[in-house]
């Protein structure tokens, strides 16, 4: 009889901020200067597998990396389907190709999850596994796959850290049923996991719920919405990597003369956006999101060491979209720290918008997604269906 594989597999979606996290008050723990609010995606996600193996004498570290294998970008997943089994996923999962700094960041994060589990699992009625991930008694292998191009400007660090947190947190539990019950029934447990994830990468904490999530300080919460169901598009202007990482952008924006007053302005805007989502005022959500991404990019363009993510095509498309946002049924337009443009429209008008955007893109790639609800543990099977 073959040996049963000990593995924990989780998927987590990316999210796109309408009010941005830009500027940190504590960069060690990723505490933001201001609250932010995002829309959780669905199929644009990362799957992470943590596998426990037998530790060999030659293993230098307790997490093994084989950086020659690139991370897969060909996986497609549909959150509504139940077709994701570890056997089907197996062909896509790869050890991510990372430099030394990236590897240390991953190992540090698994250790962070383990130490938080050690300190707090008893509060949530979860017994600790005898063999915690990242400890020296076993060899742990991390594999992952994205459903989107890594350099597409979609926040892969958000989905990656959320999925890694889920997989590592599940691996810390002695009984997967206890973990699943806490995840399904206890919102304090979900916030606890989101908080650990935030320390890995700030925006990942907003991927723990959906479709509208507000993050303030160390807390996240879902914002009730009367907006219609939305469809999401990414206009992929380039798939090249960015020259300024978002971590660096967080530091550089404080050197802009426009930084002064930013926290007050964005806090007032966040309050208006929250209210517009609650009351279902799509036109107001569109207006506020438009101003917010322009303000964030203006901070980039005017920092002491100025930089831009824009390409000529970014501006051409924004000109087209500036007409649309003034219409009676406006789309929500926003940009992340990258050249690509995100457009959210009423799901009932998705086909019409898909055609229009493809036409404007002149054959360039347009990714399409829908609204999502947060991470899920895919394996072990005892935890299936956690927060569907």
In the complex, which residues of this chain contact ligand DP6 (CB under 6 A)? 17, 20-22, 30, 36, 155, 157, 201-203, 246-247, 250, 336-337
Q: What are phi and psi of 253, to 5 degrees?
A: -60, -25
Scanning 121-225, the segments in alpha helix (DSSP H) are 156-171, 176-185, 187-200
For ligand DP6, the closer of residues 109 and 143 by Cβ is 109
Is the separation of the CB atoms in 16 and 334 below 8 Å? yes
Q: How far is the CB of 158 from ligand DP6 (least distance, A)?
A: 6
Position of minimal CB gap to ligand DP6: 202
CA torsion, ordered 165, 166, 169, 175, to nearest 10 deg:
-170
Neighbours of 326 (CB within 10 A): 12
> Biggest alpha carbon distance in the chain?
67
Burial class, 21, CB count within 10 angstroms (exposed 0-12 / middle 13-18 / buried 19+): buried
Q: How far is the CB of 16 from ligand DP6 (least distance, A)?
A: 7
Q: How far is the CB of 156 from ligand DP6 (least distance, A)?
A: 9
For ligand DP6, the closer of residues 39 and 189 by Cβ is 39
For ligand DP6, the closer of residues 152 and 180 by Cβ is 152
Neighbours of 53 (CB within 10 A): 14
H/E element holding 88?
Answer: helix 86-90
Handedness of CA 21, 216, 154, 94 (dihedral sign): positive
For ligand DP6, the closer of residues 182 and 213 by Cβ is 213
For ligand DP6, the closer of residues 157 and 159 by Cβ is 157
For ligand DP6, the closer of residues 184 and 248 by Cβ is 248
Q: How far is the CB of 344 from ligand DP6 (least distance, A)?
A: 15
Q: How far is the CB of 152 from ligand DP6 (least distance, A)?
A: 13
Q: How far is the CB of 348 from ligand DP6 (least distance, A)?
A: 27
């Amino acid at each position: 009889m073959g040996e049963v594989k000990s593995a924990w597999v989780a998927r987590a979606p990316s999210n796109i901020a309408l009010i941005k996290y830009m500027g940190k008050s504590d960069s060690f723990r990723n505490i933001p200067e201001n609250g932010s609010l995002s829309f959780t995606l669905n199929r644009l996600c990362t799957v992470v597998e943590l596998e426990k193996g037998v530790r060999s004498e030659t293993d230098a570290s307790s997490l093994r990396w084989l950086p020659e294998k690139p991370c897969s970008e060909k996986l497609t997943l549909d959150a509504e389907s139940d077709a994701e089994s570890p056997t089907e996923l197996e062909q896509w999962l790869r050890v991510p190709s990372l430099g030394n700094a990236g590897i240390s960041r991953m190992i540090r994060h698994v250790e962070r999850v383990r130490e938080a589990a050690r300190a707090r699992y008893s509060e949530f009625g979860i017994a600790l596994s005898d063999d915690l991930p990242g400890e020296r008694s076993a060899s742990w292998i991390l594999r992952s796959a994205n459903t989107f191009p890594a350099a597409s400007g979609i926040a892969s660090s958000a989905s990656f850290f959320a999925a890694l947190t889920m997989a590592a947190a599940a691996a810390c539990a002695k009984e997967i049923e206890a973990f699943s019950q806490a995840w399904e029934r206890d919102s304090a447990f979900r916030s606890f996991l989101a908080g650990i994830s935030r320390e890995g990468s700030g925006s990942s904490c907003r991927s723990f719920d959906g479709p509208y999530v507000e993050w303030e300080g160390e807390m996240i919460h879902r914002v009730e919405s009367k907006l219609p169901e939305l469809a999401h598009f990414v206009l992929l202007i380039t798939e090249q990597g960015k020259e300024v990482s978002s971590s660096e952008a967080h530091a550089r924006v404080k050197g802009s003369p426009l930084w002064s007053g930013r926290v007050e302005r964005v806090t007032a805007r966040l309050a208006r956006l929250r209210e517009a989502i609650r009351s279902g005022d799509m036109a107001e959500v569109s207006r506020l999101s438009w101003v917010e991404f322009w303000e964030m990019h203006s901070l980039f363009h005017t920092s002491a060491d100025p930089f831009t993510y824009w390409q000529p095509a970014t501006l051409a498309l924004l000109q087209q979209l500036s007409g649309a946002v003034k219409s009676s049924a406006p789309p929500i337009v926003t940009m992340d720290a990258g050249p690509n443009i995100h457009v959210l429209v009423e799901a009932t008008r998705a086909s019409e918008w898909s055609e229009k955007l493809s036409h404007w893109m002149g054959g360039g790639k347009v990714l399409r997604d829908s609204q999502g609800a947060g991470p899920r543990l895919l394996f072990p099977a005892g935890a299936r269906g956690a927060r569907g």
